[in-house]
Amino acid sequence: MIRMKTSILAVVLALASGFTSATDYHCSRHYGDNMPCAQLIGDLVPSGFGLRFPPDRFEIVLIAGTGSYNDGGATGFAMAGVAPRGRNMLPATVHTEFFQLPAPASDTTMSEAEQDYLRRAVVLSLKRLGYITHAGNLLLDDFVYSTETHWVPQKKCEWVSHDMGFNNVAGPVLSYSEECN
Amino acid sequence: MAKQWIAVLLMAGAMWNAEAVDFNCSGRLPDMAGVRCDTLVGDLVTKRFKEKYPASTYQIVLMADSAYYDDGSMSGYVLAGLAPQAGDQYPDDPMVIQFREPQALKGQALFNREKALIRSAVNDLMRELGVVAMASKKK
């Protein structure tokens, strides 16, 4: 009997360690600068994320860009979402953050803004999926302008967009359809 | 006789389709509801592009979005790139143009602004891919 209990305990422990090791995540960055994902958003991804979105099948996708103007100001955008891994897929649901920087905007301030807004986009994206860390909650305390867009292909080149608007408060549901070539 | 007519119709249909699908294009364009990619940028897609990046394999991906700020200004971006035809993929090395306006643009004005920038990005893309139209010979 003791041996059986030991075996059951061993199986439970093995399963638990298996689940624990699955609490990783994969992340890919596109455009923008190249700070490693783990360094950028590691504190925003809770340990349970990898259980539902195994890193061998899903990835957190980050897309960002900044541009500067002749008057010294700058503007940029940052997107985050979750997509199947390894297919270069655009996430079906994307959180997009926009920002403007007054002059003088340097490469450093633009890069910092990009990182900051990517983090905000990640927090909102993960929050929608039911995951939030303490660091994420602190970020949400700030006012954030965000658009949340669901892209649901109905047929080829037809989709539905649901723009969440300010502070993730639901806005109008917009439908778009397009007959493709 | 009927079979011959069916064959002729099938051939005609195939030729019509071949003519219609000479490039693929998909977009995520929340400010441009209902717009067709081919009418948006079709005239900018060069013959060399269509030859080098056949519609069976590649597509042009267009993206655009914008946001408004409390001070009445706005900013946004447009993006044009090349991606595999299959799936909803992001392009590897797209042309990205960002814009800002001290006074928010809405409706047709925003549509026109994004349209102009998307067309500019597609022109840049053709140049980047080395498929700009050959200059016509001077007579």
The answer to whether residue A18 scores a pLDDT higher than 70 is no
Lowest model confidence (mean pLDDT) among A3-7, A61-65, B75-79: A3-7
Token reading at A121:
């986009």
* Neighboring chain B residues of A96 at a CB cutoff of 8 Å: 65, 67
Residue whose token pair is 């359809």? A177
- Whole-number Å distance between alpha carbons of B78 and B110: 12
- Residue B79 CA: distances (Å) to CA of B22, B27, B63: 21, 10, 5
How many domains would you assign to chain A?
Answer: 1
**Is residue A160 included in any domain, yes or no?**
no
Q: Whole-number mean pLDDT of chain A?
A: 73
Domain housing A77: 25-136
- Amino acid sitting at position A181: N
> Strand (E) positions, chain A?
27-30, 58-68, 74-84, 93-101, 147-150, 158-162, 173-177
- Per-residue tokens: B121: 């990005």
Give CA–CA dist B139/B125, Å, rounded: 29
Q: What is the pLDDT of residue A24?
A: 80
Q: Dihedral sign, CA of A44, A139, B101, B109?
A: positive
User: Cβ of A176 and B97 within 8 Å?
Assistant: no
The reply to whether residue B98 touches residue A67, judged by beta carbons under 8 angstroms, is yes
The Cα angle at residue A178 between residues B28 and B93, in degrees rounded to 5: 30
- Tens of pLDDT, residues A88-117: 888 888 888 888 888 899 999 999 999 999
What pLDDT is stored for residue B44 in this prediction?
Answer: 95
Q: Which of B88, B110, B113, B114 to mutate: most A Cβ within 10 Å?
A: B88
In a domain, A91, yes or no: yes
Q: Is the pLDDT of residue A14 over 80?
A: no
Tell me which of A33-47, A66-80, B5-19, B48-62 is least confident.
B5-19
Chain A with chain B: Cβ pairs closer than 8 A:
99
Averaged pLDDT for residues A17-46: 76
Question: Please, which pLDDT band fits residue B83 given cuts at 50, 70 and 90?
Answer: very high
Domain boundaries, chain B: 22-128
Average pLDDT over residues B54-83: 90
A117, containing H or E segment: helix A107-128
B69 CB neighbours in chain A (<8 A) are 100, 145
**Does residue A172 form part of some domain?**
no
Instruction: Select the residue of B33, B75, B88 nearest A176 (Cβ to Cβ).
Output: B33
Residues A111-129, mean pLDDT to the nearest whole number? 90
pLDDT at A20: 42
Domain assignment of residue A174, yes or no: no
Residue whose tokens read 């893309």: B125
What SS3 class is residue A113? helix
Q: Which residue of B has its CA nearest to A73?
A: B100
Q: Which residue has the higher pLDDT, B14 or B57?
A: B57
User: Residue A3: is its pLDDT beyond 60?
Assistant: no
Joined tokens for residue A94: 């994307």
DSSP B63: E
Report CB contact under 8 Å: B36, A179.
yes
A36: cis peptide before it, omega within 30°?
A: no
pLDDT of residue B129: 95
User: Residue B97: pLDDT above 60?
Assistant: yes
Exposed/middle/buried for residue A46 (C-beta within 10 Å: 0-12, 13-18, 19+)? middle
Has residue A59 been placed in a domain? yes
Say whether the ipTM exceeds 0.90: no
With vertex at residue A18, the alpha carbon angle to CA A13 and CA A23, rounded to the nearest 5 degrees, is 125
Q: What is the pLDDT of residue A148?
A: 65
Which amino acid makes up residue B9? L
**Lowest mean pLDDT across A22-36, A152-166, B7-21, B41-55:** A152-166
The angle subtended at Cα B119 by Cα A63 and Cα A121, nearest 5°, is: 20
Residue B59 burial (CB < 10 Å; 0-12/13-18/19+)? buried
Residues of B with CB under 8 A from a CB of A: 20-30, 33-38, 55, 65-67, 69, 73, 75-77, 79, 83-84, 87-90, 92, 94, 96-100
Task: Give a yes or no: residue A100 inside a domain.
Answer: yes
**What percent of chain A stands above pLDDT 70?**
65
B20/A181 touch (CB, cutoff 8 Å), yes or no: yes
Lowest-confidence region among A80-94, A133-147, A162-176: A162-176
Structure tokens at B40: 């948006």
Kindly state the average pLDDT of the residues A26-52.
87
Interchain contact, B35 vs A87, CB within 8 Å: no
Tell me if A131 is assigned to some domain: yes
pLDDT, one tens digit per residue, over A49-76 is 988 889 998 999 999 988 888 888 898 9
- For residue A176, CA distances in Å to A161, B32, B33, B37, B47 come to 7, 9, 5, 13, 29
> Which pLDDT value is given to residue A149?
67
